[in-house]
A and B are shown apart, each in its own frame.
Chain A
Amino acid sequence: MAGITVSGALMLIGFALYAAQPSWYDAPIPVANFDWLTGLAASPLSAVLGNPFVFLYAGIFALMLTPILRLFITGWTFLVERDWHYVGITVIVLTVIAISIAFSITH
């Protein structure tokens, strides 16, 4: 539940910032790629914290990390129980997800 609480809170902050700054209404929606992140890193902190899309994307990422975290906890539980068969299965599932993340980064 912690993951969806953090995610929901970040999204609400993002929408509050978006509603408070009508200049964003007609602005093009940024794609959160490497260039956008590099541009943010070079921006002043006040600009980053005032950008609604930073919070919206952060909320989406927090949500996307929730099932991965759940898998790690599941794997850890199997490890404690010394159930090596299911430790292996969990590792395979995490590897497939890692491949999809690697694909998305290199694409």
Chain B
Amino acid sequence: MSPLLFLLVVLSGAVTGVLGALLGIGGGIFLIPVLVMGFGLPMHQAVAASVVTIIATSSATASVYVDKGISNIRLGMSLEVMTTIGAVLGGVTANYLPGAALQKIFAMFLLVMAGLMWNKTRRHAAARVAFDASASITGEYYDEAEKQTVRYSVRRLPAAMLASIVAGNLSGLLGIGGGLIKVPVMNMVSGIPMKAATATSNFMIGVTAVASAFIYFSYGHLDPLYTSAAVLGVLAGSQLGTRIGAKLHSRTIVYVFIVLILVVAARMMFA
């Protein structure tokens, strides 16, 4: 790996970290296409590198959200049971699929996610529901932007758990965090405020990723040079992302991101 290549991979990781922190996702949907199409890394190695960078994103952001009480640990652990099982199954399955097939599945996944993100942005305000103290899981946090304490109760937990096993499976299969599935499900299905959903997802994605990271490692797909360079970039980028996130209009970021992933999906589908 030349110094220039190293810097480019670090830069890609930094962009991934910024996007991850801004959008509450692992960032694999950006990093994997860059590693595959930009640097010519085989699909399996790109997925393995992405899985490790998700752990970096999660570790860098989760501690902040847990300390502030925004992450709902009980909800996160309840969903994580299903997600880790899905992630292990996905990690094993991915190693029996050819790289081209994995690439096509990834492109189709991107298209679905673009639709979900578009939908989520348009229906952002629809998720707040009345607080139910008898719910099995409740939560509260202080919202600095709204300058008030937000209380919420979790509803339809079994449905969220079912979605979590799908998110975990896709995470292990495609090297993504699964936040793009978990966050909309927690928000739209379980009625959790977006901030708590994003923070809880950030707590979860690292645990989900580690379950499949060992599987990828055992198959020899982990390239230490690309992975470490991307991780260093992600660690820097996620710090930067959490600082600039508050100053940017989130809806604009999401629309730009949707265009970006549509372009990437088209290229991966027809490459």
Chain A residues with a Cβ under 8 A of chain B: 1, 3-4, 7-8, 11-12, 14-15, 18-19, 25, 29, 31-33, 53, 56-57, 59-60, 63-64, 66-68, 70-71, 74, 77, 86, 89-90, 92-93, 96-97, 99-101, 103-105, 107
Contact = CB atoms under 8 A, between A and B. Distances in A.
A11 to B, nearest CB: 4
A4 B218 contact: no
Interface string B41-84: 00000000000100110111011000000000110011011001
Nearest to A77: B73
B63 A1 contact: yes
Interface in B201-248: 206-207, 209-215, 217-220, 222-225, 227-229, 231-232, 235
A64 B213 contact: yes
A29 B41 CA distance: 14
A37 to B, nearest CB: 13
B73 A74 contact: yes
Contacts of A101: 214
A4 B227 CA distance: 14
A97 B209 CA distance: 10
A100 B215 contact: yes
B168 to A, nearest CB: 10
Interface residues of B, number: 47
Contacts of B235: 4, 8
B88 interface: yes
B228 A11 contact: yes
Contacts of B1: 18, 25
Contacts of A19: 3
B6 interface: yes
Interface of A, helix, strand, loop or mixed by DSSP: helix
B44 to A, nearest CB: 13
A48 to B, nearest CB: 15
Contact of A60 (B59, B80, B211, B231): B231
Contacts of B26: none
B269 interface: no
A93 B59 contact: no
Nearest to B229: A15
* 10 nearest A-B pairs in the assembled complex, by CB-CB distance: A104-B218, A67-B206, A56-B224, A104-B214, A107-B218, A96-B84, A11-B228, A31-B220, A66-B59, A67-B207
Given A53-B224, A60-B52, A74 B231 contact: no
A63 B78 CA distance: 23
B211 A66 contact: no
Given A4-B235, A96-B211, 5 more contacts: A12-B232, A92-B81, A93-B207, A104-B218, A107-B218
A70 B62 contact: yes
Contact of A56 (B207, B212, B228): B228
A89 B81 contact: yes
